[in-house]
Amino acid sequence: VQLVESGGGLVQAGGSLRLSCAVSGSSFSNNAMGWYRQAPGKQRELVAAFTSGGGSTNYGDSVKGRFTISRDNVKNTMYLQMNSLKPEDTAVYYCYAWVVSVMYWGQGTQVTVSS
């Protein structure tokens, strides 16, 4: 199973980015999967996720109303639309997916929000 993220970069505060996570090697539609992020000197925190079965979503309190998680089951790709970005959103963003009780991670993509 491989997860490959893309879409990170540098953006000004108030701007938007869309991250993608392409999943290969596994069926996709019913897996629990989502996004974490880790800023320098801070613990990794949950950003957004699909729960097991793929039907429900969870969001971290700091991103509710600004970020939206979605998935395309045909393309086996998950997305994170990030709007109204703030400098405190600066972090490395990682996607993950649970496959048969094993948690797989992507390599991470850097998001930097300038003030």
- State the Cα–Cα distance between residues 14 and 11, nearest whole angstrom: 8
Helix H segments across 40-85?
none
Residue 42 reports pLDDT greater than 80 = yes
Asked if 67 and 90 count as a contact pair (C-beta separation under 8 A), the reply is: no
CA angle 113–89–40, rounded 5-degree value: 95
Cβ atoms within 10 Å of 57's Cβ, excluding its own:
14
**Digit-coded pLDDT (tens) for 57-68:** 999 999 999 999
User: Mean pLDDT, to the nearest integer, of 38-62?
Assistant: 91
- The pair of structure tokens assigned to 93 is 């963003």
- State the Cα–Cα distance between residues 92 and 68, nearest whole angstrom: 17
Q: What value does the mean pLDDT of the chain take?
A: 94
